[in-house]
């Protein structure tokens, strides 16, 4: 469900005004749903106040001094779900409803014995995803590296410009 008239440009992903508009409009329809699975930053706070429909929130965020206090407040009214066991184990002592992995099935990818030796790293431009470490490992191993990097939100642009891009061009 998207109550927004137009899909926002990906370059403004994370814009607090677009997100707030989307969240408040979507949650105003909450009585039409059996469950809400929210992936936004703001939505769980709104969902925690509803009480009329269960809210599941997938934790795409990094565990920080800014995110943990709010998540701790929400933990009794919103079902928090980690995206990996590593994320769940690295996090604070919060009651998690479980782990829901991203929907990639390894069986969907063809394994070929005849292939180029190459490392591949896929993720968003964030220090907790380890892109710089991937660059360093590839350089030390002398193996080419292909990176598929999401750089859409302001923090990601900053990390790309200040850390990842310089690491790619340092050698």
Quote the Cα angle for 18-20-23, to 5°: 105
Residue 17: name the closest of 4, 1, 36 by CA.
4
Judge whether residue 62 has pLDDT over 80.
no
> Tokens standing for 100?
């829901």
Judge whether residue 134 has pLDDT over 80.
yes
pTM of this structure? 0.68
The residue that leads in pLDDT, 139 or 20, is 139
pLDDT of res. 1: 60
- 144 and 4 in contact (C-beta within 8 Å)? no
Q: What is the mean pLDDT of the chain?
A: 85
């Amino acid at each position: 469900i998207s109550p927004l008239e137009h899909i926002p440009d990906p370059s403004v992903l994370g814009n607090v005004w677009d997100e707030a508009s989307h969240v408040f409009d979507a949650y105003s329809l909450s009585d039409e749903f059996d469950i809400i699975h929210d992936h936004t930053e703001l939505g769980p706070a709104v969902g925690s106040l509803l009480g009329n429909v269960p809210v599941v929130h997938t934790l795409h965020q990094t565990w920080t001094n800014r995110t943990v206090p709010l998540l701790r407040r929400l933990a009794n009214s919103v079902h928090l779900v980690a995206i990996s066991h590593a994320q769940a184990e690295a996090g604070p002592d919060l009651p998690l409803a479980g782990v829901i992995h991203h929907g990639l099935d390894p069986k969907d990818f063809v394994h070929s014995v005849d292939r180029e030796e190459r490392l591949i790293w896929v993720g968003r431009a964030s220090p907790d995803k380890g892109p710089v470490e991937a660059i360093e490992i590839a350089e030390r191993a002398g193996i080419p590296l292909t990176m598929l990097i999401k750089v859409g939100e302001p923090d990601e642009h900053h990390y790309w410009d200040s850390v990842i891009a310089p690491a790619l061009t340092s050698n």
